[in-house]
Amino acid sequence: MSDQNDASSTPSKFRAVLVPHRSLGRKGFLIFMGVVSGLSFFTGLAFYMLGAWPVIGFLGLDIFLIYIAFRLNYHAARIYETVHLTDKELRVTRVYPSGRADSWTFNPYWARLELVEDETGSNRLSVRSHGRELRFGSFLTDDEKRSFAEALRTALHDLRGLRI
């Protein structure tokens, strides 16, 4: 317990919170659901007037499933990761949507940051030290991974007294 308190009392050299990007905010979601509901209502009304009233149930089911899919997506987006660098440690903490948190600690002088750029366009960001590897930031875009890797690599080099 004292190690954790000592590390948190050490001045920060670098701190970042990584969060997934979601292009559709709350207002956009409400507008989208309103448009889908309106279209389904008028389509259902047309089918009802033609005598095909069971179609209304399927249109209602479509709206419900779209809503559930978005809610699950927003729930999954509550994951985030923090990266904290001090003189004593590099700590990566992943907080899941459920609130459970996992934390990994590395010696900043031994930790090696790796950005593996794949031909398929799916880059991987990881920290390696003493045979251990932690992949993190998987929800970031490739450009965000590159930018973050550059910033953290610079902070690690500055901490070690190396200039790049």
Both 91 and 67 in one domain: the answer is: no
Both 58 and 120 in one domain: the answer is: no
Q: What are phi and psi of 133, to 5 degrees?
A: -135, 135
Residue 86 neighbours by CB distance under 10 Å: 19
Compute the distance between CA of residue 70 and CA of residue 68 in angstroms, rounded to an integer.
5
pTM for the full model? 0.74
One digit per residue, the tens of pLDDT, for the chain of length 164 reads 344 444 456 788 899 999 998 888 889 999 999 999 999 999 999 999 999 999 999 999 999 999 999 999 889 889 999 999 999 999 999 999 999 999 999 999 999 999 998 877 778 999 999 889 999 999 998 889 999 999 999 999 998 886 55
Residue 71 neighbours by CB distance under 10 Å: 11
What is the total count of domains within the chain? 2
Both 135 and 55 in one domain: the answer is: no
> Residue 46: which H helix or E strand, with range?
helix 26-49
Q: What are phi and psi of 19, to 5 degrees?
A: -130, 150
Structural domain including 10 reads 2-20+80-160
